[in-house]
Structure 1
Amino acid sequence: MVLVYMEANNDLRYEALTSINRMEKGAKDIDGILLVYIKTSSVRSYLLKIKYDPDENRITSDTVKTYQSSATSDPEFLKDVVSNAQKEYPAETYGLVLWSHATSWAPPSSAIVKTKSFGRDNGEEMDIIDLKNALPNNLEFLIFDACSMGGVEVLYEFKDKANYIIASPAETIAESFPYQYITPFLFKGSDQLKDVAQAYYDYYNSYTDDRQSATVSLIKTSQLPQLASEMKSLMIRTKVYGDQFTTTNIQRLDFTLGFPVANYDYGDFLDHNWQQQELRSIYSQLKKVILYQAATPNFLGKPIKAFSGITCYIPYYNDINLTYYKRLQWYTASGFNILFEK
């Protein structure tokens, strides 16, 4: 059973309805249940059971539940929706797609940042740690159909929630994943998840205008702890309290003006801050973490010259985000704390 949780009580209403129509188009002969929780207004929201319909101009799926005045950005509400869906439609495996706005791991509030990490329901958004705590631990895969959730901090935070994660290290175009193509792959086992990621890339790469903008990666979460261990070993060998990283000329993968936190390509970050001979083991592990990665040559007209498959943040002294960043599991597991704690 796959559940798509769509927070669209915002400027993505039209795109959400289009995505549902495309799911219906792609749902022919799927081996399982596809559910969509959808909210496009403050009055009520719905749980749909998707059924095949090739007409992209109408939604014909069955409404199996109606929610009154629900708060989709309340983590307890999300938890209830996911739990009830699994209870009502038990299956051998479960997948979850989180569909909405997102801003990586950006903290809930600060003197500068006025945003949160996932979703947007009538202006209210959800903290990434609260989101993680709301999810069950039994997911075969988790797909972020949302901007900039392919950062190592985000992936590490959700590593115990799903065996595999598909996410975009950069922003995602509002047109969303091409569900008319990927829906069948969601029900064919973990081996087909590469096809989901590749279909996303191929869809956007086929454009010839600025919509030729996509980054995507498939992550094997069981390999993330060893990546953190390799990173920590590198930090212990080469860094001491008070050292600072360079950020000069490192590929940025946040392309939206005013994006709340900087997303640097992880591999480019490593290359600019260490010698290549120091990076062999961590790059070897990175290949085990990332099962598929792809990026278009440009994103919204800006070149992507370096792409390793995931991004990272580079914290610094007097960083307004550092207090929150320290709450993320990656901060300590990867040894970043060595720079800021005696």
Structure 2
Amino acid sequence: MNSLFFNSLMKCLLALVFLLNSCKDKESVVIEKNSRVILVYMGANNNLVTDAYNSINAMEEGMIGVDADVYVYATLAGSSPKIYKIVADQSAEIKSTVVKSYGDQDSANPKVMNQILQTLKGYAGDRPQGLILWSHATNWLPNVGVKLMSFNEDRGSRTELRDLQSVIPSGLDFLMFDACSMASVEVLYQLREKSTYTIASPAEVLSTSMPYHLVLKHLVNPDLEQGIKAAAETYFNFYNQLTGLHQSATISVVNNQYLTALATQVHAALSRSPLTAIYRNNLQRLDFDEKSLSAGFDFLDFVNQNIPPSDIEAIEQVISKLVVYKAHTPTFLGKPILKFSGLSCYVPVDLNKWIHPYYNSLAWAKDSGFNSFVLE
């Protein structure tokens, strides 16, 4: 073996050792930094399938320059359900790695949803996690023999709020709804123990969805509150710079630890001054789509018009701590937003009495005292 060949061989071996050590160091950095894992449950076995593909593509673009793990379970109309590990890519095609495939299944079935969420959590291990629920949604409304739902729609099957409560894992950094109308006190309160923060819209969400190419980096920010507030602000700015009906967005970031205090304050106010009449007609509506099944009203507008002034300040003080970020475009689908607390609520009407027994079974109705005027 001549010396030139030997020296070249040694250089190659040393380079290989260095490369292997570099790879090992990179892997240990990912483990040591304990970075947040983003888990996504995407229900698009419905008319949102094209938007779902666009969201996955946007996530791939959002991964460019971001060192994080993002896993997406997607049930997409016309293809079998899969779990993807999102990879950085700017092409129009889905380049992400398929880590698990499934046969035909009902993604709105709580048993299926529970199984998938547990699998997603397994990929995250003990690292901090944020969960995004992406699909259709109609607030707290149940699946009770008519075409209503709380979340998801899979060939006529839907997931109701109490089932969501049973399957969503606890201990999440944040829970984000990329779905319509889920920033209601009813939904937030039912799911308050699942995550530190909730990100959601009290009004509808346009099918163009969250601009993941812009927000993904914020969702993995080690500073949790700063990151999710930045994500919500980015969402708002994205839609606010559009024109016409596309300039339509509401968004809220809620610190869930204050939800119990809100229910307590409202219950105390209603106990002192029971409502004998409900003022509903002039309240700010937060459902703007004429096809919407979710009747939501601005929560603080309801409080101001129905609860005595002596009790309002205490409620407002809790909301100032509860809602850490809120924003809305001037109009939504061309309809003005004049009042906006970041929260919606149900306000009863006799036409809806058939659904009041279900409403009064929800934790918010009981703990806040709303069941005292939502009559069956």
Is 1:326 equivalent to 2:360 in the alignment? Answer: yes
SS, match of residue 309 in structure 1 = coil
**Deviation of 1:43 (Å):** 5.4
Match of 1:268 among 290, 298, 301: 301
Bigger Cα displacement from structure 2, 61-70 vs 309-318: 309-318
**Deviation of 1:133 (Å):** 0.6
Alignment partners' CA distance in 2, 1:339 and 1:310: 19
CA contact (8 A) 2:356 2:374 kept: no
Alignment partners' CA distance in 1, 2:253 and 2:124: 26
Match of 2:343 among 276, 287, 310: 310
**Deviation of 1:274 (Å):** 2.6
Q: Deviation per CA, 1:85-142, whole angstroms, max 9, x where unpaired?
A: 21233142011100000000112126xx531111011221111111111111121100
Match of 2:238 among 203, 207, 211: 203
Aligned match of 1:158: 191
Alignment partners' CA distance in 1, 2:290 and 2:273: 34
Aligned match of 1:238: 273
Q: Quickly say closer, same or farther: Cα 1:237–1:317, change in 2 above 3 A.
A: farther
Aligned match of 1:27: 63
Aligned match of 1:144: 177
Higher helix share: 2
Alignment partners' CA distance in 2, 1:316 and 1:244: 11
What is the one-letter code of the residue matched to 1:232? H
**Deviation of 1:340 (Å):** 5.9
Aligned match of 2:87: 51
Match of 1:105 among 127, 131, 140: 140
CA contact (8 A) 1:226 1:285 kept: yes
- What is the TM-score of this pair, normalised by structure 1? 0.95
Q: Deviation per CA, 1:51-102, whole angstroms, max 9, x where unpaired?
A: 11122x1111100000111210111111111111212331420111000000
SS, match of residue 202 in structure 1 = helix
Alignment partners' CA distance in 2, 1:298 and 1:12: 24
SS, match of residue 321 in structure 1 = helix
Alignment partners' CA distance in 2, 1:272 and 1:183: 39
Q: Deviation per CA, 1:229-268, whole angstroms, max 9, x where unpaired?
A: 000011011106xx23110200111112242231000011
Aligned match of 1:279: 312
Bigger Cα displacement from structure 2, 271-280 vs 205-214: 271-280
CA contact (8 A) 2:360 2:374 kept: no
Bigger Cα displacement from structure 2, 277-286 vs 164-173: 277-286
Match of 1:299 among 323, 326, 332: 332
CA contact (8 A) 2:192 2:259 kept: yes
CA contact (8 A) 1:46 1:67 kept: yes
User: Which sections of structure 2, spanning at least 5 residues, go unmatched?
Assistant: 1-36
Bigger Cα displacement from structure 2, 252-261 vs 182-191: 252-261
Bigger Cα Rg: 2
Aligned match of 2:123: 88
Higher relative contact order (CA 8 A, sep 6+): 1
**Deviation of 1:41 (Å):** 2.8
Aligned match of 2:153: 120
Bigger Cα displacement from structure 2, 197-206 vs 318-327: 318-327
CA contact (8 A) 1:43 1:68 kept: no
Q: Quickly say closer, same or farther: Cα 1:259–1:320, change in 2 above 3 A.
A: farther
**Deviation of 1:320 (Å):** 1.9
- What is the TM-score of this pair, normalised by structure 2? 0.86
Alignment partners' CA distance in 1, 2:172 and 2:157: 26
What is the one-letter code of the residue matched to 1:33? D
Match of 1:40 among 76, 82, 90: 76
What is the one-letter code of the residue matched to 1:171? E
Aligned match of 1:227: 262
Q: Deviation per CA, 1:165-222, whole angstroms, max 9, x where unpaired?
A: 0000000000000000011111113121101110110000010111000000000011
Alignment partners' CA distance in 2, 1:92 and 1:340: 42
Is 1:217 equivalent to 2:217 in the alignment? Answer: no
Q: Deviation per CA, 1:245-298, whole angstroms, max 9, x where unpaired?
A: 110200111112242231000011111113433300000000111000001000
Alignment partners' CA distance in 2, 1:181 and 1:131: 28
What is the one-letter code of the residue matched to 1:52? A
**Deviation of 1:338 (Å):** 2.8
Aligned match of 2:97: 62
CA contact (8 A) 2:273 2:308 kept: no
CA contact (8 A) 1:103 1:117 kept: yes
Bigger Cα displacement from structure 2, 201-210 vs 88-97: 88-97
CA contact (8 A) 1:42 1:69 kept: no
Alignment partners' CA distance in 2, 1:208 and 1:276: 39
SS, match of residue 64 in structure 2 = coil
